[in-house]
Amino acid sequence: MAEFDPQFLQYAALIAHQLKSPVTAAMSLIQTVLGEFAGPLNPRQKELLEKALQRCGQSVQTSQRLLAIANALKNPQRFSGTSDLADILRRVQMQFADQAVGRDITLELDVAEASMPAIGLDAALTEAFEALVHNALKYTPDHGRIQLTLRPGATVDTLRINIADSGVGIAVADRERVFEPFFRTSTARSSDRPGTGLGLAFVKAVVEACGGSIHVSRSEMGGALFEVTLRSASSTQSISLGDKPMPSGWKVLIIGGVAAGPKVAAKIMRLRPDAQVTIVDKGKLLSYAGCGLPFYISGVVKNQAQLMSSAVGDLRDSVFFQKVKNVRVLNQTEALRIDRAKRRVQVRDMNTGRDSWLEYDKLVLATGATPVVPEIPGVDLKNVFTLHGVTDAEGIKGALDTGRAHDVVIIGGGLIGIEMTEALVQKGCRVTIVEQRSQILSMLDEDMALLVERHLEGHGVRTLTGTSVVGLEGENNAVKTVRTDKGILSADLVILATGIRPNSSLAQNAGLEIGVTGGVKVDDHLRSSDENIYAAGDCTETTHIVTGKPCYMPLGSTANKQGRSVAVNLCGGDDRFPGIIGTVACKVFECNIVRTGLNEVEAHRDGYKTVCVLAPGPDREHFVPQARTLMLKLVVDVRTRRLLGAQAIGPGHADKRLDVAALAINAGFNVDQIAQLDLCYAPQFAPVMDNLIMAANVARNKLDGYLHGVTPKQVHQRLQAGEALCLLDVRTPVELGYMRMPGATHIPLGALRERLHEVPKDKPIIAFCNYSLRGYEAALILRHAGYDNVAVMDGGLVMWPYEKIQ
């Protein structure tokens, strides 16, 4: 083999390191544009940008390989350790299976039944064998064959791995030179196959850094045969975790690979690179953004891989965790039971049905949640989904894309059901939400939930509250109708959105303590009742910061924070997880829906005497064209004046107000402190008195007796009961032409002092305008004029969720 200059390679690696960051940043910008966050794209623009993104990805891969080769030459000790070659080859075969099937190439794997672990870093060897199989696929014509074999080597302390193909082969004269950096054979150069000549150089550097060797010859199939020889590890160099040998060291086993589990693994490897971390997950996919599934169904997210990718485009699959994090991932593997006495978990390979035991020093349960499926006839019919994972999302998307779903019934009016409505309507579906409770979105108070219902109805979504589903009926084993206690609904597609429950059965069967909410009970360090077992994410019960009581509110944000805390504590730190206050956000059509802390019902249930505020207004100065309405509700403790909770809905910027409210609740602020917060102001960002500050001042006026308010719900109930009220509308005549309340007396605020004689003194007076700011002014005028029974309707006409004449 011709010699190459290592200094040249080090110099090339330095350049690659400098180029990697800006290219990665460029990829992020391209992805932003592709997501149409900067405006719509036509098909040709998307095609060109996707090609540019692909080229950038190739550049990053080239940089990574140059750096890896340089590291292998400079620091071969970094490639020590032991790896299960059979496991690596199975994962590599799975990774390229779809590509091979698409080209009708047979991709075979033949592994000796008993094989010793090999010396070499798992992540590095995975990358090397990926490069060899990718190379074989590149140069093997369609309808060809590629075979991977693993056998004992020529000596007892070696292993032999062959990668043979039926491709174009490599000329004898080039068989040594193909391992030189940047060398490409004449066949490769004359073809249209992309390449830099670094793949095989990378493979050789990794193999030799692991103490092995690699050679190329002609295969019996006529193409190339790459023969890799690696040293076999002795039994003293590894500890057997069932049939998965791992290096000796501190072993952390994580059950669950969606949110909390991967976060635990990634943080542990940053703190303890010597740890041996294994993730076991029943599913095929891991670390995916479940909250993004509605966006995938609607088509906003074009490819499900985006839901499993980092911000810079790295696909967080099992290979990613192996190569980047050095974390062993056993997906499609089910955890069956925990043997706490021997610190081991029995698992089952779902592909082979084979059971084995995995040992641990510390165990982390991140088993997530299970969808609640109502016990009604017909739930097993086709086209009935729960939307709890990518499989369901693919089923729903398939039904929508093929035009088979015209009438869709969502059973359950919680977050999942509401978030799905927009995607379905955009696909042309007629959507009906059936909710057993008296309102949708139980996280909100009824008055706020009613406003969301009106918003949904304005976009053609039918909401049936106080309605129970008694059964599903179908034709040809596919759902066709939904039978309720109030009638029958047509349905081509049904989504069960009746909630989720913690998946804590594995913990319960192991004798771990389960909380009152059904989740695994943990302390503030997220330790279970067994000091060697931690729990995080949707399977875990947590504490509500406001009440100090156990609660269960599964969120991806909570799972990731808990995952980080678990990792820090496992590695000897002291990271206390204080609990949650239930901050939740969603969006449907143009309406943002956010809540934090306690709602009014929850506060009363926990014994608080409260004062509540409904405060609508523009989210920016009214003269800014981008100003949008935001409707706030605050729940305040009368005794301490402390903010207990907040809710916000509307097209305006709700999240930033609720983020400030969440911080205030965590800090124990009262409304007097909130009213004096020094928040950002500029007309394009906020009104001069921010919406949250304005709402806090309304609460102060109520607490101090300056304002007597009644809610729209209270007004509606009094009207329904036949009480004689004077509803005083103090808006201008122009505003009256846009919208009015039935039965209201109209006197503009500017004319009220001159027309006081028109206001009766023998009826309760309730003043209002659009936002009720002028209603407050009217109430002050009336009180000063001797009217005693005067109130202001909270939230004004904007937050009146009942009948209005337009």
Kindly name the residue from 291, 429, 551, 769 that is annotated as catalytic. 291
CA distance 769 to 795: 9
Helix (H) or strand (E) holding 594: strand 591-597
Radius of gyration in angstroms for the set of CA atoms belonging to the chain, rounded to a whole number: 32
Q: Give the closest residue to 340 by CA, choosing from 202, 509, 569, 588.
A: 509
Dihedral of CA 588/593/598/602: which sign?
A: negative
8 A C-beta contact, residue 583 and residue 596: yes
Which residues 6+ apart lie within 8 Å of 404 measured at CB?
Answer: 383, 492, 493
CA distance 617 to 631: 7
CA distance 607 to 232: 67
Place of tokens 């909130």: 674
The DSSP line for 684-730 is TT--SS-HHHHHHHHHHHHHTTS--EE-HHHHHHHHHTT---EEEE-
CA distance 386 to 380: 11
Q: Give the closest residue to 636 by CA, choosing from 606, 664, 670.
A: 670
Helix 122-138 and helix 85-102: axis angle, to 10°?
30
Dihedral of CA 5/9/10/14: which sign?
A: positive
Q: Give the closest residue to 385 by CA, choosing from 479, 469, 470.
A: 479
CA distance 65 to 394: 35
Dihedral of CA 381/382/383/389: which sign?
A: positive
Question: Token digits for 768?
Answer: 């209002």
Distance of CA 230 to the CA centre of its chain: 41
**Which residues make beta-bridge pairs with 665?**
none
Look at residue 794 and give its three-state secondary structure: coil
Give the strand pairing for 430-435 and 362-365.
unpaired
Q: Give the closest residue to 231 by CA, choosing from 75, 125, 93.
A: 125
Q: Give the Å distances, CA to CA, from 176 to 105, 191, 231, 322, 359.
A: 27, 20, 22, 30, 44
Other C-beta atoms lying within 10 Å of the C-beta of residue 188: 19
Q: Could you tell me where the beta strands, DSSP code E, fall in 232-332?
A: 238-241, 244-247, 251-255, 276-281, 328-331
**DSSP 8-state assignment for residue 233:** P
Q: Give the closest residue to 582 by CA, choosing from 501, 527, 636, 658.
A: 658
**Which residues make beta-bridge pairs with 245?**
240
Active site residue 291: yes
Helix (H) or strand (E) holding 363: strand 362-365
Q: Give the Å distances, CA to CA, from 138 to 104, 193, 601.
A: 13, 7, 63
Q: Give the Å distances, CA to CA, from 64 to 2, 69, 114.
A: 24, 9, 34
**DSSP 8-state assignment for residue 323:** I
**Which residues make beta-bridge pairs with 647?**
595, 633
Query: Which residues are designated catalytic?
Result: 291
